[in-house]
A and B are shown apart, each in its own frame.
Chain A
Amino acid sequence: MVRIGAFLVGLFFAGWLLISFLVGAYSYVVEPPAKTVEHEFHLAPKHVSFSFDGPLGRYDNQQLQRGFQVFKEVCSACHSLKFVAFRDLAGIGYNEAEIKAIAKNWTIKTPSVDPATGEASTRDGIPADYFPSPFANNVAAAAANNNAIPPDLSLMTKARHHGSAYVYSLLTGFQEQPAELLKHFPDAKTPEGLHFNPYFANLNLAMAPPLSADGQVTYGDGTKPTIDQMSQDVAAFLTWTAEPKLENRRRAGVATILFLLIATGLAYMAYQNIWADKKKAA
């Protein structure tokens, strides 16, 4: 009984799947799926190398501090960084006094409550504060940005495939819409208020090119602030904000694997030793 029932169930599922396949294959041949503009013109992130590439790469604090400066002077006008606190900047080489000053002088003040009246107010930042958001809420953010909410950047490089390269490519990827694209997809013309960027998933994004000229920020360490350099630096900084424990993790990994290799070697010898009398011809 079990086998007859199974046979019938199997025949039904397998048969209907094959019929579905034939139906699908027929329409695939008769009417091949149309190519979309995203399929044709979306680009994978550019190749760019960072100090933290590879299994043993480390962050370059100089670069992270430059990237932080770009974030502070450019990105932070619209983007929040809500999972990172001022105190975390110790991780990229700032000392206590510097962090206190950065928090205190941050353009956006920290939301607070007036101790006298209980009304909502703001105060200067302290190291324990998380980076305050530039907009009070999503409605305000959308209203100020052509109806697009600037996403939080804390985890951006982990929230996209090849995130560090993605951020770099997006920042350096703004361009005129190719004539080729408009020829094949006349409907896909970038709408008013959006900006063409082949590294963005649907090719048009609301953000205007944030890094538009060399020298937009002035680096203290003498590095030449080209658009390419600033893009790399801020991509590195955002990699750190997304994965601040990267160096601890890799260090712990090397130690753990060395220990495990030795322990496993010993375990293998114990195994061979115990089985020695069982593993030979009688």
Chain B
Amino acid sequence: MSFPWAEHYTPKHPLMQWVDEKLPLPRLVYNAVGAGYPVPRNLNYFWNFGVLAGLALLIQIVTGVVMAMHYGANTLVAFGTVEQTMRDVNAGWLMRYAHANGASFFFIVVYLHIFRGLYFGSYKAPREMVWLLGLVIFLLMMATAFMGYVLPWGQMSYWGAKVITGLFGAIPVVGEPIQTWLLGGFAPGNASLNRFFSLHFLLPFVIAAVVILHIWALHIPGSSNPTGVEVKGPQDTVPFHPYYTAKDGFGAGIFLILFAILLFFAPNYLGHPDNYIEANPLSTPAHIVPEWYFWPFYAILRAFTVDFFFVPAKLLGVLAMFASILLLFFLPWLDTSPVRSGSYRPTFKTFFWILVLDVLILGYCGGAPAEEPYVMISQVAAAYYFAHFLIILPMIARFEKPLPLPNSITEAVLAKYAKADGEPAAVPAE
């Protein structure tokens, strides 16, 4: 599952030789994220975000396990135990704020990771499985984040749980029984809180398992790169360690600095004040909004305001919201252009940046109150979102004339450095 020129693991110390004979775990690590994994030499900083997402998951698991030690999953005490963690547990405020803001940073790096995949065509053959597993991780993250947000049992926790499980209630006939079954009652209550806690503890480890599959599937073809041209020989790659471990170390430093700024100096900036009010089933907040990372999807949900004959608008919104994520699973077969990298696809690039702007607009509208003009703006933006993936992208693949690709990764790299040095591009003999 690697290139023939990959370096081989040769333990020198007798103890390591002994371990390698009994359980070749160090060998596995060496081949997965060590010197035994050859990686294209031209990866840019956008390729840092996979490792950063792994780091974010690790931070969430460590802080989350500590939080769970002080948490009581009961509607009578949940809000109070979180407050007690903040006030009376040693460094409890640090764990709590790191966990809450860590979720946001996890989504930031994963969104940038997905952005990278979309722009550089990482989802295309032969890496479809990597993409599909990545989407599975994304869905698991969304479920985990949603359930985690319910646990502090504040006003937004309660009403968010009510709205999101209410989406299932929009399904005809079986909707309400499903909603009742999910909540373990007719409204969010103790049964809901307990099961959300149980699943919120479980799912991160499921995510970790799918991350392993994601990396495994990646190692079969090897990493993609900004040119989208496949690796042709040893001159195109460098060993993951030390080259990319060093680069990821620097990336992790930048990530942690930004994380620390938010965590220590504006820990409630991304949160909602209403979640510092204990859940009250008798008092509905003026604006129920989910966490920022769900805003684009929330905007799509609310964009449907007109019934389609016998299909109510609410059900359409629910279907569209799920469709907006599920359609990504078909992306490798919707975009049939043989050229991977957006850098060599002029038409694709234009529409791609429109999509990025479109998703940001959807996000803004999703966080705004459900009033005009936000609803009208999100209707146009959501229409473009679906049109982009389902209509425009397949058409571009058919009609676009891509720019000429470099012959190899090395040629592209040498051309770049020659240009930086002010020399004419060297053409390597092949």
Residues in chain A within 8 A of chain B (CB atoms):
2-3, 6-7, 9-11, 13-21, 23-25, 28, 33, 55, 83, 88, 151-152, 154-155, 158-161, 163, 201, 242, 244-245, 248-250, 252-254, 256-257, 260-261, 263-264, 267-268, 270-271, 274-275, 278-282
Question: Once the chains bind, are A257 and B323 in contact (CB under 8 Å)?
Answer: no
Q: Which residue of A lies closest to B387 (CB)?
A: A14
**B267 contacts partner chain A, Cβ-Cβ < 8 Å:** yes
Binds A, one of B104-112, B290-298, B301-309: B301-309
Question: Once the chains bind, are B250 and A257 in contact (CB under 8 Å)?
Answer: no
Q: In the complex, which of the residues B252, B390, B428 contacts A6, with contact meaning CB atoms closer than 8 Å? A: B390
- In B224-276, the 8 Å CB interface with A consists of 238, 242-243, 246-247, 249-250, 252-254, 256-257, 260-261, 263-265, 267-268, 273-274, 276
CA distance A163 to B420 in the complex (A): 52
Question: Once the chains bind, are B371 and A252 in contact (CB under 8 Å)?
Answer: no
CA distance A15 to B334 in the complex (A): 19
Question: Once the chains bind, are B260 and A257 in contact (CB under 8 Å)?
Answer: yes
Q: Which residue of A lies closest to B84 (CB)?
A: A83
Residue numbers in B under 8 Å from A23 (CB-CB) = 305-306
CA distance A256 to B263 in the complex (A): 11
Residue numbers in A under 8 Å from B394 (CB-CB) = 3, 6-7
**B353 contacts partner chain A, Cβ-Cβ < 8 Å:** no
A-B contact pairs, 21 of them (CB 8 A): A6-B327, A10-B387, A11-B391, A13-B323, A13-B390, A17-B304, A17-B383, A17-B386, A21-B380, A24-B372, A88-B87, A152-B278, A155-B277, A158-B276, A249-B93, A257-B261, A267-B252, A270-B246, A275-B247, A281-B421, A282-B428
CB distance from A17 to the nearest CB of B (A): 4
Question: Once the chains bind, are A16 and B253 in contact (CB under 8 Å)?
Answer: no
Taking A270-B250, A278-B41 as given, write out 8 further A-B residue pairs in contact, using a Cβ cutoff of 8 Å, ordered by the A residue number.
A6-B394, A10-B387, A17-B304, A17-B380, A28-B373, A245-B93, A249-B94, A263-B253
Q: Which residue of B lies closest to A244 (CB)?
A: B87
**B181 contacts partner chain A, Cβ-Cβ < 8 Å:** no
Question: Once the chains bind, are A278 and B306 in contact (CB under 8 Å)?
Answer: no
Question: Once the chains bind, are A159 and B273 in contact (CB under 8 Å)?
Answer: yes
Question: Once the chains bind, are A261 and B257 in contact (CB under 8 Å)?
Answer: yes
Residue numbers in A under 8 Å from B94 (CB-CB) = 249, 252
Question: Once the chains bind, are B267 and A249 in contact (CB under 8 Å)?
Answer: yes
Residues in chain B within 8 A of chain A (CB atoms):
41, 80, 83-84, 86-87, 93-94, 97, 238, 242-243, 246-247, 249-250, 252-254, 256-257, 260-261, 263-265, 267-268, 273-274, 276-278, 286, 303-306, 308, 313, 316, 320, 323, 327, 330, 333-334, 336, 371-373, 375-376, 379-380, 382-384, 386-387, 389-391, 394, 414, 417-418, 420-421, 423, 426, 428
Residue numbers in A under 8 Å from B276 (CB-CB) = 155, 158-159, 242
Q: In the complex, which of the residues B286, B305, B420 contacts A20, with contact meaning CB atoms closer than 8 Å? A: B305
Question: Once the chains bind, are B304 and A20 in contact (CB under 8 Å)?
Answer: yes
Question: Once the chains bind, are B260 and A253 in contact (CB under 8 Å)?
Answer: yes
Given A25-B376, A55-B265, A260-B257, A154 and B304 contact (CB-CB distance below 8 Å): no
Q: In the complex, which of the residues B83, B316, B334, B372 contacts A2, with contact meaning CB atoms closer than 8 Å? A: B334
Q: Which residue of B lies closest to A13 (CB)?
A: B386
Residue numbers in B under 8 Å from A152 (CB-CB) = 278
Given A16-B304, A17-B304, A25-B376, A155 and B390 contact (CB-CB distance below 8 Å): no
Q: Which residue of B lies closest to A251 (CB)?
A: B264
Q: In the complex, which of the residues A6, A19, A256, A257 contacts B330, with contact meaning CB atoms closer than 8 Å? A: A6
Question: Once the chains bind, are B273 and A158 in contact (CB under 8 Å)?
Answer: yes
Question: Once the chains bind, are B260 and A260 in contact (CB under 8 Å)?
Answer: yes
Q: In the complex, which of the residues A19, A21, A280 contacts B376, with contact meaning CB atoms closer than 8 Å? A: A21
Q: Identify which of A10, A158, A270 gathers the most chain B CB atoms within 10 Å of its CB.
A: A10
Question: Once the chains bind, are B260 and A14 in contact (CB under 8 Å)?
Answer: no
Residue numbers in A under 8 Å from B426 (CB-CB) = 281-282
